[in-house]
Amino acid sequence: MELPRAMMTTLRRHYPEYLMEAVGLGCFMVSASVVTAILEHPVSPIYQAIPDPLVRRFMIGVGMGLTAIALIYSPWGKQSGAHLNPAVTLTFFRLGKVKLVDAGFYILAQFIGGLLGILLAARVLGAVIAHVSVNYVVTTPGRGGAGVAFLAEWIISFGIMMTILMVSNTPRFARWTGLFAGGLITLYITVEAPLSGMSMNPARTFASAIAANHWTAIWVYFVAPLAGMLFASQVFVQWKGQEAVCCAKLHHHNHQRCIFRCGYQSNPVRRDASRLSDRLL
């Protein structure tokens, strides 16, 4: 009985952060659906005006990169940490910054939020989102097949997590972590999307797969992002040490509460530096 009681206590205390994660990924899914419909549906004037798919992918990348940045720097993103991705949450759990109960509820919230987001987008866009050019923004392997998609997802997941760990744990640049992450999302959608659809996120892919009833190589999008991010965390720990990881938040230079095993809270020097940086913003 102790474990369920402890879980319920944590749920009562931290449910706002869980809801923020759900709403955050839901908003991301709505944005992905709308942006893709505007730029890829054949009847769209923008699609007709821009025949080059590379340029359209870049524009989608900009839209989704800005969406990610807005979510990370939003008041809710600053409080929950803006993981919005089970692979990110599990990586910070492996790094000892997220407790098991919080990790479980974060992941549950992300899956629910992603699904509700795509269902809301379907309600708004109607038949447009079901068109083959949009298809509920599913992520599927490109012409290279599942093997190429797996390798591509692994590489981009490794890249973004290594970037997050390096930037967020460097005092001079920590407050700009969200910008680095958004920039990589733009780059990845532009360059990598033809290989795997550019997911890096099991909950995001799962939501689209349910809505579209499209399950091609779904295992790739569960295994590769987590494997890539966990490997990035291992490389970072071997390079910098476990104690170099300050917190699980992507943006910590704010006055929102932190529910993680936070290095800023336990280390007065880090805490004061964070507060000084926040006043300078």
Looking at residue 277, its pLDDT comes to: 47
Looking at residue 279, its pLDDT comes to: 44
Neighbours of 219 (CB within 10 A): 10
How much of the chain, in percent, has pLDDT values that exceed 70?
93
Q: What are phi and psi of 143, to 5 degrees?
A: -65, -25
Looking at residue 85, its pLDDT comes to: 98
pLDDT tens digits for range 236-245: 999 999 999 9
Structure tokens at 96: 């000892």
- Beta-strand runs (E) in 35-113: none
Number of domains in the chain: 1
Statement: residue 160 has pLDDT above 50: yes
- Tell me, what amino acid is at 139? T
User: What is the CATH classification number for the domain harbouring 72?
Assistant: 1.20.1080.10
pLDDT tens digits for range 23-56: 999 999 999 999 999 999 999 999 999 999 999 9
CA–CA separation, 120 and 88 (whole Å): 24
Statement: residue 3 has pLDDT above 80: no
pLDDT tens digits for range 66-124: 999 999 999 999 999 999 999 999 999 999 999 999 999 999 999 999 999 999 999 99
Looking at per-residue pLDDT, the higher value among 270 and 105 belongs to 105
Q: Coil, strand or helix: which one is 6?
A: helix
Q: Residue 164: which of 152, 156, 174 has the closest Cα?
A: 174
Looking at residue 255, its pLDDT comes to: 87
Side-chain-facing half-sphere of 280: CA atoms under 13 Å: 10
Confidence category of residue 254, pLDDT binned at 50, 70, 90: confident
Structure tokens at 148: 């190429």
Statement: residue 278 has pLDDT above 70: no
Mean of pLDDT values over 11-32: 97
Give yes or no for a contact between 59 and 30, defined as CB atoms under 8 angstroms apart.
Answer: no
Structure tokens at 63: 């839209």
Structure tokens at 42: 């054949």
Structure tokens at 236: 């970072």
pLDDT tens digits for range 183-205: 999 999 999 999 999 999 999 99
* pTM recorded for the entire structure: 0.92
Mean of pLDDT values over 213-238: 97
How is residue 136 annotated by DSSP?
G
Residue with tokens 């795997």: 196
Provide the domain limits for residue 138.
Answer: 2-280
Mean of pLDDT values over 242-261: 92
Average pLDDT, the chain: 93
